[in-house]
Structure 1
Amino acid sequence: MNWESKASTLANRVTDPDSRWLAPVARVPRHELIPKWWELDGSEQWVLRDGPSDPEAWAEAAYADRSLVTRVGTLHADHAESGDHPEGVPTSSATLPSLIVRMLRHGRLGAGLPILDLGTGAGGLTAYACHRLGDAHVTSVDVDPYLVSAAGERLASMGYHPKMVAADATEHVPGSYDRIVSTVALAPGPGLRPILDALATGGRIATTLARTSLIVTGWKHASGDVVGVIERDMAGFMLTRSGDNYPAPLVELFALAQEAEGESRTTGRYPVLDVANAWEIRSMLEVMAPGVEVGYATSGRERTTVLVHPDGSWARASAEWINPPEVHQSGPRKLWEVLERIRNRLNAEGALPLLGAQVRITPDGACHLSRGQWNASMGVQ
């Protein structure tokens, strides 16, 4: 495979001509990190792709600026056979190179500064960091021992020998780092404490917040607080996990919300929205109702959105195309009303107060946001 020309083309596409990340992207053989991966076929079924058996497709996939899913549920593509069709959601991937570069830029890395790559995945970020900074300064952590082992072996074959660690970062992060760049989404609260403890005073973290697309960057002060901003940039990453798979979604509550008559039945003000793909609105919904899960389906011109929450609240809104929806809601909080308040604010002010907001993360993992007279907190115990 003539990967060098393809990697160079990719580097020119995802970095600037004077970028310090151009050479790493151009010189890392990304295809070697992703010999197998999963793709959804036309029937929304996961299908295995084997790179060595189809070098042309392998090169096209590996040097395109896109993420490749490497693990679905508990089945890694490396361990799968043709004909396997795992069920569930992606649990690991090779992040698209342009997003890796953006996160590395947000991390403001520097020569000689110890960096933690939180969320090894296929090892792409680790490879780029090793190429530019030297592998002696790079540590990569993932909860999945196989991912750590496989990425470590593939990186070693390229001549990179960073420190590779299998650990649940929500429980313990070994070492101390001047820079932490996370390509998994971190949930405010107690699970954030070990990561904050691993960040040296004066150090900088770049991450996203769980169930949002908000990129948070900040510097650690002597008080232990991390103070920074929500960047005017957005990204979507998988949640951190502690076990071999993510906890089961609120299946029973989703099923109830799909069919049941709500305690209240009203007509919504706005058209049905695919909330998961309205990134800023979805992020604000998580800030206002942390832990909410969303679903969306279409049938012809009929569109339905379902919101559910661990406290037992649920909402369902259905309508034909952009007509006012019929809304059913039950539980201690009216989730559709929360969503409509967000959309009211967006319409009234032209923007939500998230991007550019100030952030203070306290040592207990609580995340406090503020912008002008608006403020909110997440992960407060």
Structure 2
Amino acid sequence: MRLTSRITPRLTSRITPRLTSRITPRLTSRITPRLTSRTALRLLTPVALAVLLAATTGGGSASAQPTTSTPAFDSLTQQSHTDWMASLPDSTGLGALSVPGTHDTLAIHGGLAPWAYEAQEDHGDSAATLTAQLDAGIRAIDIRVRVVNSGTAFAIHHTDVYQNANFDDVLTHAQAFLTAHPGETVLMDLHGECDADTTEGGSGTSSIGHCADDPASTTAADRMRILQSYIARYPGLFYAPTVTGTSTAAMPTLGQVRGHIVLTSFTGPLGEVYPGYGLSQLTGANAGSYVENDWTQCTTATKWGEAQSNIAAAGADTTGAMFTTYLSANCSPFGGGPADVAGGYLWQTGVNQLALNYLTGSGSSSRTGVVLMDYPGYALIDAILNRDGAAG
């Protein structure tokens, strides 16, 4: 997500040190809880809002976690599905499954603009939120990383906001879960989040909605080298054919990947696919025909129409291909944020509820493929799992 696509360079250039200095403690104290609601903040002038957004480069203590929930939205942990894959035959093709997942899996912090950055229920830092998701039945995760510590490690980010978790946290929690539940697998999409690097055509400096790696000269080869260092430190955790660095993997069966993380793809800040990683079907030239991810479409009925078409395509497919559908979208700071789109806002029904209505109604597809969600509710997770006939 690139929040600055709506904050132009001309606008951000006007946010000078002199202007920033005018936001005094007295002014800040007037930003009451009522004013900092999503509706009120949208009434700020573009310059004032951009200055507030500039403070979002750290995790911060502000939160826009929803205060209401429904069976489709923001009720992740009301049911547990720790072993649902264990009941399925080993011969089941991974692409034939209906898999609930989370978009921007660990996006639980957002500084002073949390409504624009937070996309998941907050169940704790250091990837404790991931364990909560896995316990609830989530099996597809979307991990966004920034290179840190002088090019030696990955930290978890949502654009320029650190999410109080590192890649070691992700792998440690995933490994603990898979050890306790060896019949399961976890699908991971790994994405380099920072597009401000000099090698990507950026300024080399973090700005609103854009992070720079450490160092800002980080290259694709550097990111692949760092991933290989993690693979070496967690032997056997990844399904080996997806992390060779030299070739991609055919679609495996569930029996082949139980107890492992399957790296579905590894992409760079501009979406470039890193060769030698992931599943062949999702990293080849035709990969886009299996994925729906219109993340800037925040009219929920339109967004759901796009998602429904891809889910229907998954249900009609007879080749065993893995279809991936994102229910998520984000038009902040001047439109709906992740919680708005997922849960509903103004006169619009949330995409999560529209998906639940479809999956529990007549005429819906026999399988969904992978469905990545913001703020998933327990009933929506159940509705996806019901397509697998899974228990546990």
TM-score interval, smaller chain: under 0.3
Indicate the structure (1 or 2) with the bigger Cα radius of gyration. Answer: 1
Greater share of helix: 2
